[in-house]
Structure 1
Amino acid sequence: MENKKPITFIFWVIAIILGVTLYKQFDFQNLKFEKPALAVVYIIVFVFSVFVLIKNFKKKRSGK
């Protein structure tokens, strides 16, 4: 169980950095990203990191 703490921390850092980056790159007036191809990669990695965090949280709550 102790080995999962550094992995969780890494995914938190990734999610925060990518969330801020996506927010900064989004143009709210035109509703578009500055670099759409790079934004797709950011969104995929962001969603994956949030998925891993939620999965880990649920597993911790259930006691397994």
Structure 2
Amino acid sequence: MENKNNVPVFTFSIVAIIVGAALYKQIDFETLKFEKPALAIVYLIVFVFSVYVLIKNFRKKTQK
């Protein structure tokens, strides 16, 4: 059962790293605007969701 709990943590951590890097590459720091705003919104939603799942799993493990 322990492996079943680690799969989402590993998967969502990889997703958060990849999407976070893509979101970082999209922003233009001189004007603070995104190259493709619609794609940046999708990246941001996925990034926030994956970080939320990681924090939720971390809190669940610390309460045990």
TM-score using structure 1 length: 0.94
Deviation at 1:6, TM superposition (A): 1.2
Displaced runs of 4 or more, over 3 A: none
Listed one character per residue, the Cα deviations across residues 7-55 of structure 1 (whole Å, up to 9, x for unaligned) are: 1100000000011111111000011000000000000010000000000
SS at match of 2:51: helix
Specify every segment of 5 or more residues in structure 1 that has no aligned partner in the other structure, as ranges: none
- Tell me whether 1:16 sits opposite 2:8 in the alignment: no
Aligned position for 2:61: 60
Aligned position for 2:44: 43
Of Structure 1 and Structure 2, which has the larger fraction of its residues in helix?
2
- Size of the alignment, in residue pairs? 63
TM-score using structure 2 length: 0.94
Identity %: 63
